[in-house]
Structure 1
């Protein structure tokens, strides 16, 4: 989804920029000498608490500063970027339209649909659509995904990027970016996930996004108010540390010996319970009553032991996402550190992959 900001030449370099509640993450992908995809460079600039809240840039000047720092750390000449809106800020609807419908016809229908479902004036709205392919119910029709959001949501992010010296050429949606990144992970699953039900659980700092695919097609998505900040809060409370120090100690593993028993294990139990509850909500709203595989992504998936805790609770085969497992790595990137950071770069990877849209 480009929301009217079109990227005409996908051969040009592009930086995927994920603005989460805890950090600005930037990633640039390229092509190696043998023609395979390559991680050129990436960087992470941490954000202070409350700079981004509920998907809103509460303190845009701080986000701008972090974007500048992240871009400078990349050490690149590329300034064109792909950004993402939080899924909670967009409305999506799938339409069934004749295959011979022109783009003008589709746009007219999309605008008509927006009139019916958005609660604010159309001049405050921006929308985009994408033809998904033939409808399984009719050979003469296409499925068309329409995505609608407020203009100010897009303009806010574009303006901050521009202030940081960057040019936005794509505005995507974080959940769609995650689905695109999953394409770099699916090879780890039997038959690459075809004919199976796979849950992608992106555990972030403040929220958890659950995307469920059946036969590699999205069938369900939902956001849950659970994330790594809960662990930070408990570290801060239990050991009497200021928030920033608790977050730093969590990331660096510099915690007292009783951390594992008194704090980590209860958190892992809570996280596993949250994943199990999310799956139950899916089962309650879907004819599918079974999930074959769980893919954990996001910064919170890096918490030691989380994958094992989730498996023990759900009894579903669980892996931690590494979308770079089959990519080569440039000399600017430390492979071991990339392997550690990979799950937290899941959305940034999906955005950076937009460079190859026309392949």
Structure 2
């Protein structure tokens, strides 16, 4: 997405999602009118290698990418990655519709200098014209994205040291939205659709309307909070508690003493964030919620969200209509496909 990284051949991309708990990747191709999953893989990473979306040890992470790459066909040499967190800012700015491309670029830089809290020489800056402004047809809405150079380049270095070439750098919320659009019904385009990604250490809420992300919020909250609560309650190490949690092999009283409080905490966070959206000056009602990420695998969370928010809640499952090069990938994604939505959204950049 960002300048210097976008005007390249995007074919045959591996979408790589750097999470604080694991790295997930998907290779995607298109033929005979449908998508095909050519490979999918996940590799765990040690706690502390990625903290608040910052890479603490590029050498170790590159070694993990090298191992992950062995699961993919040799023809896949290029990758798409995403940036997120406090080092990334996106804004929709109304600008004169008559501006030439050169003048528009200059105007974007001027507006960014005044409204983005990073020095211009420390960021990658990109923009996309979304279309006419709803209130004034003489203006266009322009999506402006800015990311700290240090954040982008640390990811790029990590991937390229592992032997892949980064062809696309996207914003995580945009990539997830791209994947979530595969789930939309015909009339969802004009509705407000909230998609919520609950990962290991970050929970992201994005609301889509007419193909655009119109509201975003993120919190340092996710599955790692539940793991730590479990570790503290039962006197386990973090790794022991993570294994118990993932395998659902927890003590009988864990549902009441640990899981229920964690779900209540998660629902309260989401209720607050959704209220922030409803308090913004718009007339868009949220019609349904789509859950992504590993933490949505807790069925109790889905039930409680539906009951307390009075909204239809779906677990993202974009893969049933896909073809698969390997049947084992089909089996995996039927179970945990929602964890791979960001990687999927990135891989889609190479086939759309």
Correspondence for 1:50: 48
Residues 12 and 75, structure 2, Cα contact 8 Å, conserved in 1: no
1:152 aligns with 2:150: yes
Q: Which 4+ runs in 1 deviate beyond 6 A?
A: none
Inter-partner Cα distance in structure 1 for 2:321 and 2:100: 38
Inter-partner Cα distance in structure 2 for 1:280 and 1:289: 13
**Stretch deviating more after TM superposition (272-281 or 312-321):** 272-281
Residues 25 and 42, structure 2, Cα contact 8 Å, conserved in 1: yes
Q: How does 1:163-242 map to 2 (within 5 A)?
A: 163-187=161-185, 191-242=186-237
Residue 100 of structure 1: how far off its partner (Å): 4.1
Residue 332 of structure 1: how far off its partner (Å): 5.4
Correspondence for 1:31: 30
Inter-partner Cα distance in structure 2 for 1:239 and 1:293: 36
Question: Residue deviations 1:330-351, cap 9 Å, x none?
Answer: 2254323212221111111110
User: Cα RMSD between the aligned structures?
Assistant: 2.0
Inter-partner Cα distance in structure 1 for 2:126 and 2:298: 37
Correspondence for 1:279: 274
Question: Residue deviations 1:270-325, cap 9 Å, x none?
Answer: 22222222212222234347421011111111123221121111111000111223
Question: Residue deviations 1:132-169, cap 9 Å, x none?
Answer: 12322333432221111222221111111111111101
2:122 counterpart (115, 121, 124):
124
Question: Residue deviations 1:200-229, cap 9 Å, x none?
Answer: 111111111111123443221111222111
Residues 22 and 45, structure 2, Cα contact 8 Å, conserved in 1: yes
Correspondence for 1:21: 20
2:70 counterpart SS class: helix
Correspondence for 1:295: 290
Inter-partner Cα distance in structure 2 for 1:139 and 1:117: 23
Residue 21 of structure 1: how far off its partner (Å): 1.1
Question: Residue deviations 1:251-281, cap 9 Å, x none?
Answer: 1222223322332223222222222222122
Residues 64 and 161, structure 1, Cα contact 8 Å, conserved in 2: yes
The count of corresponding residues between Structure 1 and Structure 2 is 352
Q: TM-score, normalised by structure 2?
A: 0.93
**Stretch deviating more after TM superposition (22-31 or 118-127):** 118-127
Structure 1 residues not aligned, in runs of 5+: none
Residues 177 and 208, structure 2, Cα contact 8 Å, conserved in 1: no
Residue 7 of structure 1: how far off its partner (Å): 4.5
1:40 aligns with 2:38: yes
1:84 counterpart (82, 85, 91):
82
Structure 2 residues not aligned, in runs of 5+: none
Residues 198 and 223, structure 2, Cα contact 8 Å, conserved in 1: yes
Q: 1:31 to 1:194 in 2, by over 3 A?
A: closer
**Stretch deviating more after TM superposition (166-175 or 257-266):** 257-266
1:349 counterpart (333, 344, 347):
344
